[in-house]
Structure formats: C-alpha cells, structure tokens
Chain A
Amino acid sequence: MKKLWGALLGIIALCCLLALGDYLMNRQSNGTGGRTLTVYNWGDYIDPALIKKFERQTGYHVDYETFDSNESMLTKIRQGGTNYDVVVPSEYTVQRMKKEHLLAPLDHRKLTNFHYIDQRFLNKDFDPGNKYSVPYFWGTLGIIYNDQKVAGQDVQHWSQLWNPQFKNNLLLIDSARDVFAMALITQGDSVNTTNYSKLKQAQHHLQALTPNVKAIIADEMKMYMEQDEAAVGVTYSGDAREMMSVNHHLHYVVPSEGSNIWFDNMVIPKSAKNKQAAYQFINFMLQPENAAKNAEYVGYATPNKAAKKLLPKSVTADQQFYPPESTMKHLQTYKDLPRRVLGEYNDLFLEFKMFRR
C-alpha cells in the first residue's frame, strides 16, 4: 500500500513540477512591465555593450531573449502569454504576423531617428509605408567559393553552378525557398511565383543540378566550407562572412542577374507591455553611432545610411556585402506565400532531394 501511494505521489509530483515549470517560464516573460524592456531577437545579433549603454541612458532594465528560427518565434507569440516589447522577424514573417494581427502599428511621430534609414530599404512590398516594421539588418543569398579550387570568374552567375566542372562539389542550403529562388532566377521568374508549372519547371531544372550537389545541409555548411570539404556553396551573406573570417580562401558573390535580399526588422507586437520603452529602444538602435557599432559587431549590412558613413571604408566598399547598385536593383525579397503554395515548394523540394543522380 505504501509503495502504491509512493508511486501515485510520484506521478502527481511530476505533473505539479511540469505545471510549475510552465508557470515559472510564463511568469518570467510576463512579470515585466514598468521599468523593464523585453527584447526578442536572434541569437548573437546585437552588440551586448549597446544593451548596457541603453540601460545606463534610460534606466530601463533590458530582458534579452533569443530565438533561432522565424517559425519558432511565431509559434511562441501566436500562442500568447508573451509580452515581448521589440521582436526582430525577417520580412516574410512580418507579413505573416501582420496578416494574423499580431503587430501593433508604429507611430512614426515617435520614431524620431527613422530618417537615418536609407530610402532604398523603406516602403518594401512586405510592409508598404513601414507601418509595422523598421529595418534592422539586411543580407543576401549568394555563392561562396574557395579560390584554391575554383577560379572566381567561373562562379559569378547562378547558371554556372550547372557546369559539370563542379561535379559533386556543390553544397546547398537546406531551405526550399532559397534553392528554388536560385532555379527560378536562372529561368527568369520571380522568386515568389505561385505558378505551379513554373515551379515544376524549376524543379526539373534543379534535378539537372543533382550530379553537382554534394549535400543539402544547414549550419554545418560553415564547418565544411571552412575545412575545404567542397569548392562551392550556396548560402547567406551573414554565414558567408563568418566562414570567410576563418578561411581566407573563401569569397562570396551575389550574382548580378538577381538573388534574394532579406531584411530583419524591428517590430512591436500587439501584446507588448511597455511600448514607450520599445520606441526608445528602436530610436536608440537607429542612432547612427549605435547602429554603426552594432553593424561592426554583428557583421551584417546595415540599412542605416548615416551609420554606414561611420563604418570603415574597407567594410562599406566591399561589394560582397554591399553589392553595387546594378546588382541591388535585381534583388528580390520573399513574400509570405499562402501556406498551400509553401507546401508545394516544400513537397517539390523533398522530391528534388529524393532524386538520385
């Protein structure tokens, strides 16, 4: 009988522990307000010194939490019970959040430092008039290559990746949108096409690439490119910069015929508790000297025109990360597609992955 009660108590205690854990985790993110600002951002995506500086300047206490994918962030905010004051989603997620009424519209009179942002990065399709979002950083999709194995002029364009000289030497990022963007651009289509036959055509085109594809991987690509495992890779500018800082034989190219350009943006969710502080924080981050410091720490391209002037010439003249105007005008952003279409992209991508050379 004793044992029985023991076992029962054990199960009840376990359930209580789980409930308590849930409560504590919720309270941690709920129990703010007043003099606290809660920021929800990608990991390692801000200079920690700036948070200290903001706290000193304003007297707010900053709670900084991180996520590792737009989808996980979205799920958490959608489920409620969170009170993040500033969140940094990518552009297609801004669109999705807007559609789901998760965002508070921005009061532009309170965004006193908004004018520092380069006009080119404002008023984009995903948020006309920047009603809900302020650009934080931007980057591209491109080709990274190892100059010991490949000559630079052989990898300036997407279509060159189909060249048999790269047989079994190409790494692709494991993301349906990005791989299809590459194929869609080579056939002259929009990266946001919802036309199934065009997608099918792109998939067919990709299947011809299979002999060259060594692997379709995620973050591990950094390690493989750094260790000379493959000659060419398709990846994001931010990851490319990280790889290049380790292996000096690596170079990054944004094909001039077009590619994807992405933005990470500061937004204020509807559930924010401290909007006052959120505006102060956004203004603080837009302050040219702060934005420049942040860009130097994070290494991505800044949309802040005034901050860009403060950055060393060697950084801003680098066409790998600040592509020339002629390339810039061919870059396309991803739009948030209907989930049915996204499903099609992913199913076709799965099929492509299953296609044997």
Chain B
Amino acid sequence: MRQKALFIVPYALWIVLFVIAPLALIFYQSFFDLNSHFTLANYQDYLTSATYLKMTLNSVWYAALITVVTLVISYPTAYVLTQLENRQFWLLIVILPTWINLLLKTYAFIGLFSRTGSVNQFLQFMGLGSHQLLFTDASFMFVAAYIEIPFMVLPIFNALIEINPSLLNASKDLGATSWQTFRRIVLPLSMPGVKAGIQAVFIPSLSLFMITRLIGGNRVITLGTAIEEHFLTTQNWGMGSTIGVVLILAMFIVMFITGDSREKGGRH
C-alpha cells in the first residue's frame, strides 16, 4: 500500500510544480495594484467597467461562433472518416496542419487573403473583381475555425469509432431507418466526443489574440488582446492577471457544463 502511494509522488510533484504553482501565481498577482499594494480593486474595476464586460461578451460570442462553425464542419468530417477504408491515413491528413507553427499558418493566410493574394487573383480571373478579404469578421472566423478543426475532429472521431457496430446492426434489424439509427444511437453515443471537442476549441478561442491582430486587424477584440496589452504595454500585471483569472473561471464553467452528463453517455 505504501509502495502504491509512492507512485503518486512524481505525478503530484509534476502537477504542483507545473500546473498548480503557475495558476496560484496568477491568482496571487491579480490582487496587486500598480504600486504593488494588496487590493481587490482589479476585480472591482473589471466588474464595473463597461469596456471589459463588453470585451468579455465579445470574446464569448466569437468563441461560441468559432465553436459552432467548427462543430458543424467537424462532425460530418469525423463521421465520413469513420466510414472510410484507410481512415487512419485520412485522419493523419486532417491532423497534419497542427504540426505547423500557428504563426506560419496565419501568415500563409495573409498571403492568400491580401489584395494581391491568390484568392483575389483567382476571383479576378473568374471575372468577379477583387474584394477586401483581410480584416473582416468572415476572414477571422475562417482562419480561427481552420486552426481549431483538428482539435474538434479528433475527439469526435474517437467517440464514433468506439461505437459497437452490433448496436447499429441491432437497430437496423429492429426496423429503424438510418436517420433513426443516427438520431437514437450514433448521436447520443458520440456526445462525449462532441463535448471534449467543444472544450478543446471553445477555451483556446476565448483568448485568441494573435489572429485578432494579424487577420482581424484589431477590429475583433478579445480578452487575449487586453491581457497582452496589460503585460506588455501598461505593465499593469495585476489587471492582466485578473483577466487571466476570469479566463480560468470561464474554463471551469465550460468544463462543468460540458462534463455534466458524461456518465450517462457510457457505452457499457
């Protein structure tokens, strides 16, 4: 028994040093003002400032949109993938872009979307004229969704692939149409994957900041932009940390909402 307890030590150490300690530091830092006096003013400012609240709503709204768009694209993709013969190969193709640095991918899109970029050249060739593509909400959503898609496809794919085929056969044998089978069997059984995917996409989307500037031209403002500014420009680390704490709370809320009924969706 004592031996077994010892096995926890490395994991506990790891979690304390590299997960809990940084979080605690952010939390600690958020209680200090510009003159390093202990204060609750940062939270008060945050909660009473129309700017920050609006920004939070903005972030949640864009993150939700990105998540929905990603989900709508990823679920059918994952479903089709499971039906394919060489599914591992195709899955690899879907995941491949995550091996490339985020910044490089973003710059590639600047090249595609700019006035003299490939997309506009193609549009002109087709006689559709050139359009303003960069710095629009649409291009921001497009790039953000593109970047997040692999993180949504993977968990959904895993959930779908684990569904016992005999359940599907039984459903058909008992006279269910393929829509009914999908609606009553496949969808409920794949819900854990969908929830995991939402967690993996929604939370990072809340704090996107590089894409908001590079593709959104700072016309899309999220909490990430504010954190960057507080740490780099105003050097108000307290306020930056406060916003960080808000993001962490948002993460817990999302985990709570999406993690709720996991047990019920069991396969056994």
Give the B-binding residues of A (Cβ under 8 A): 1, 4, 7-8, 10-11, 15, 69, 71-72, 75, 168, 174-176, 213-218, 220, 223-224, 227-229, 339-340, 342-343, 346-347, 350-351, 353-354
For A15, list chain B residues within 8 Å (CB): 17
Which of A1, A7, A176 lies in contact with B233, CB distance below 8 A?
Answer: A176
Name, among B10, B226, B232, B235, the residue most crowded by chain A CB atoms within 10 Å (CB to CB): B10
For B11, list chain A residues within 8 Å (CB): 7
Contact between A228 and B221, CB atoms less than 8 A apart: no
B267 interface residue per 8 A CB criterion: no
What's the minimum C-beta distance from A178 to chain B, rounded to whole angstroms?
Answer: 11
For B135, list chain A residues within 8 Å (CB): 214-215
Nearest residue, chain A, Cβ from B230: A346
Contact between B233 and A229, CB atoms less than 8 A apart: no
B115 interface residue per 8 A CB criterion: yes
Contact-size category for B:
35 or more
Contact between B34 and A343, CB atoms less than 8 A apart: yes
Which of B7, B115, B217, B229 lies in contact with A4, CB distance below 8 A?
Answer: B7
Nearest residue, chain A, Cβ from B235: A71
Which of B49, B218, B239 lies in contact with A215, CB distance below 8 A?
Answer: B218
Bound: A214/B214 CA distance, A:
12
- B24-47 at interface with A (beta carbon < 8 Å): 34
For B116, list chain A residues within 8 Å (CB): 227-229
For B213, list chain A residues within 8 Å (CB): 174, 216-218, 220
Bound: A224/B217 CA distance, A:
11
- B179-195 at interface with A (beta carbon < 8 Å): none
Contact between B14 and A11, CB atoms less than 8 A apart: yes
For B110, list chain A residues within 8 Å (CB): 220, 223
Contact between A350 and B229, CB atoms less than 8 A apart: yes
What's the minimum C-beta distance from A161 to chain B, rounded to whole angstroms?
Answer: 17
Contact between A340 and B34, CB atoms less than 8 A apart: yes
B3 interface residue per 8 A CB criterion: yes
Contact between A71 and B233, CB atoms less than 8 A apart: yes
Can you spell out 10 A-B residue pairs with CB atoms less than 8 angstroms apart?
A4-B9, A168-B132, A174-B213, A175-B233, A215-B219, A216-B213, A224-B114, A346-B233, A347-B51, A354-B221
Nearest residue, chain B, Cβ from A339: B34
- In the complex, besides A4-B9, A350-B55, 15 extra interface pairs with C-beta distance below 8 angstroms are A4-B6, A11-B14, A11-B17, A168-B132, A213-B219, A215-B135, A216-B219, A223-B110, A224-B114, A228-B116, A342-B234, A343-B236, A346-B234, A347-B49, A354-B221
Nearest residue, chain B, Cβ from A175: B233
Nearest residue, chain A, Cβ from B218: A216
Bound: A215/B3 CA distance, A:
60
- Given the interface contacts A216-B218, A350-B225, does A7 sit within 8 Å of B236 by beta carbon? no
Contact between A8 and B10, CB atoms less than 8 A apart: yes
Bound: A176/B235 CA distance, A:
13
Contact between B234 and A343, CB atoms less than 8 A apart: yes
Which of A4, A75, A227, A354 lies in contact with B114, CB distance below 8 A?
Answer: A227
What's the minimum C-beta distance from B97 to chain A, rounded to whole angstroms?
Answer: 22
Bound: A87/B39 CA distance, A:
35
Nearest residue, chain B, Cβ from A168: B132
For B233, list chain A residues within 8 Å (CB): 71, 175-176, 342, 346
Bound: A227/B217 CA distance, A:
16
For B230, list chain A residues within 8 Å (CB): 346
- B221-247 at interface with A (beta carbon < 8 Å): 221, 225-226, 229-230, 232-236, 239
For A223, list chain B residues within 8 Å (CB): 110
Bound: A238/B221 CA distance, A:
28
Contact between A353 and B34, CB atoms less than 8 A apart: no
What's the minimum C-beta distance from A93 to chain B, rounded to whole angstroms?
Answer: 12
Nearest residue, chain B, Cβ from A5: B10
What's the minimum C-beta distance from B59 to chain A, rounded to whole angstroms?
Answer: 11
Bound: A11/B114 CA distance, A:
47
- Given the interface contacts A11-B10, A343-B234, A346-B229, does A353 sit within 8 Å of B218 by beta carbon? yes
Bound: A354/B212 CA distance, A:
12
Bound: A97/B229 CA distance, A:
21
B138 interface residue per 8 A CB criterion: no
What's the minimum C-beta distance from A349 to chain B, rounded to whole angstroms?
Answer: 8
- B99-114 at interface with A (beta carbon < 8 Å): 110, 114
Contact between B134 and A229, CB atoms less than 8 A apart: yes
Bound: A213/B135 CA distance, A:
10
- Given the interface contacts A215-B135, A346-B229, A350-B225, does A8 sit within 8 Å of B9 by beta carbon? yes
Contact between A8 and B13, CB atoms less than 8 A apart: yes
For B216, list chain A residues within 8 Å (CB): 215
What's the minimum C-beta distance from A317 to chain B, rounded to whole angstroms?
Answer: 33
B58 interface residue per 8 A CB criterion: yes
For B235, list chain A residues within 8 Å (CB): 71, 75, 339
